[in-house]
Structure 1
């Protein structure tokens, strides 16, 4: 009952991931990941995200929450299941016709780096204050998450400077493909599931204020991308875009904080975080 898992209450990871705005960081990471031709081909050819996008999002979110807040046993069980699943999957590179495993270290490293960098960038640009040392500590702590998916921690960037150098080195491998364009469009205009209610309600969600609100969130996620990534998507790399994105993300964080402050305490944190905090209190007793 006192097992706090991989990180614990004194970690930068727990400090960062208590921020609800990180949901938008996850969306940013998907736009970024789609710029790697092999990575996005692997997802397109193996994932059922088009048929069940919200189910896949839920499963991915549950895995991330387990890694951050789960007990050691829960983390090992979830990561072992993920590694077994990935080990069975292959895809075909649409540019070369080569068949490749989706658990190749280069692809796993790309997904890991873009995910943790997106979480960190989104939170700090939304207004979370972290010192340079805390930023590096977060990247170093996340080496544990990288190891869970099968990566050698020694091969994974573990500081802000190393992440910047990694992006600089990998940029020649990135670009727009058909899979990239289709994935980005899907992320921007996802379908409303049949399970969300009658056709009239789904139509309202598709065309009404909810859809426009989501488009604003997706637009902010794209604007938060590095300028070089926005240019690959055909967008602008201007500093004014970054300024607008910062204003938008800070406003969203403030709105989320205001709404959550009106809710009972038990609804402000996920069940995984509440369980982790309870175990941490037991460990400290």
Structure 2
């Protein structure tokens, strides 16, 4: 399997060589996903995902969050950033690389007895919507405030575009925050907390263990009060992680001020991100350093996939059209 920007730092300068990717400089996605609140957003997103029993089963079997907690956090954020900030070829290459890894992530979900698969469209729909909603939530709470109605509409349409990099259907993506609320209301009866889910959440929100570092442990504990502020009260009660209202009231202006200060400097933002997630920090550095690509235009996923299909299939080790299609 070929190396890519998640595994080979030497390829990082190629983040945006071909075109502006699938979103471009005027996109809401670039604005939200380059704010320093992404560090809180990722912690929030993964915490919520542990309420999905199929997500939990996959991570409990893999044990990556315990064996390689820093790598797990960084690779997850780096993967998402490359799809949003990279050119069309980089976004597809990284997506296909991760999807190829996911083809091996399968097993039995113990509550239902049903088989899970990391590339299952329903599971990917949940993680995709949760990831984008978590980033937006943290951007609005700790950043400049709510998006305008027009930008909100654009953001969720961009979320649907990003869904084309996964197995879920873009048509299933809500196109407004009201639609997202309806999606979660429909999904809520299927969410649950198990021992494995609580264990995963504890590792995420208070990282520890022999494979952790003092820096990562400190970051997780520093971010957790902010993450809890963004969760609905029913979810805080469900997961068993809560904090007094006084902590909410004190931490909210503190984090707004801190992240607002960081956001004034691209260098401060990327340095802070790199402390917690080195790959992601390098992606941000290349994003802001990138010059004009060969084609100063925004691509579509369909066009890019048609252009690079054979090339990327060969690079990522897909041995046949059937295997490649199954992974998508």
TM-score normalised by the shorter chain: which range applies? 0.7 to 0.9
Deviation at 1:249, TM superposition (A): 3.3
Deviation at 1:156, TM superposition (A): 1.8
Structure 1 vs Structure 2 CA RMSD:
3.0
Selected match of 2:286 from 272, 276, 281: 272
> Do residues 222 (structure 1) and 236 (structure 2) align?
no
TM-score, normalization by structure 1: 0.83
Q: Quickly say closer, same or farther: Cα 1:60–1:38, change in 2 above 3 A.
A: same
Runs of 5+ consecutive residues of structure 2 not aligned to the other structure: 1-16, 273-280, 298-328
TM-score, normalization by structure 2: 0.73
Partner Cα distance (1:211, 1:152) in 2: 37
Deviation at 1:282, TM superposition (A): 7.7
Any idea what the Cα deviations from partners look like across 1:200-228, whole Å, max 9, x if unmatched? xx6xx38xxx8566423212212211222
SS for the counterpart of 1:150 is: coil
Deviation at 1:85, TM superposition (A): 1.8
Deviation at 1:233, TM superposition (A): 1.6
Q: Quickly say closer, same or farther: Cα 1:228–1:71, change in 2 above 3 A.
A: same
Any idea what the Cα deviations from partners look like across 1:28-74, whole Å, max 9, x if unmatched? 11111111112111122135221111112221122112111111111
Question: Which of 239-248 and 38-47 deviates more?
Answer: 239-248
Partner Cα distance (2:41, 2:239) in 1: 18
Instruction: Give the conservation status (yes or no) of the 8 Å contact 2:55–2:123.
Output: yes
Question: Which of 234-243 and 5-14 deviates more?
Answer: 234-243
Instruction: Give the conservation status (yes or no) of the 8 Å contact 2:18–2:89.
Output: no
Instruction: Give the conservation status (yes or no) of the 8 Å contact 1:137–1:159.
Output: no
Any idea what the Cα deviations from partners look like across 1:159-215, whole Å, max 9, x if unmatched? 211101001111111121111110111012213766x9xxxxx6xx38xxx856642
Selected match of 2:190 from 161, 173, 176: 173
> Do residues 283 (structure 1) and 296 (structure 2) align?
yes
Partner Cα distance (2:92, 2:202) in 1: 34
Instruction: Give the conservation status (yes or no) of the 8 Å contact 1:176–1:232.
Output: yes
Spell out the pairing of 1:5-84 with structure 2 (5 A cutoff): 5-84=21-100
Instruction: Give the conservation status (yes or no) of the 8 Å contact 1:220–1:248.
Output: no
Partner Cα distance (2:160, 2:113) in 1: 32
Runs of 5+ consecutive residues of structure 1 not aligned to the other structure: 197-201
SS for the counterpart of 1:91 is: strand
Q: Quickly say closer, same or farther: Cα 1:120–1:95, change in 2 above 3 A.
A: same
Q: Quickly say closer, same or farther: Cα 1:46–1:127, change in 2 above 3 A.
A: same
Instruction: Give the conservation status (yes or no) of the 8 Å contact 2:208–2:217.
Output: no
Question: Which of 21-30 and 247-256 deviates more?
Answer: 247-256
Any idea what the Cα deviations from partners look like across 1:86-105, whole Å, max 9, x if unmatched? 22321211213222222221
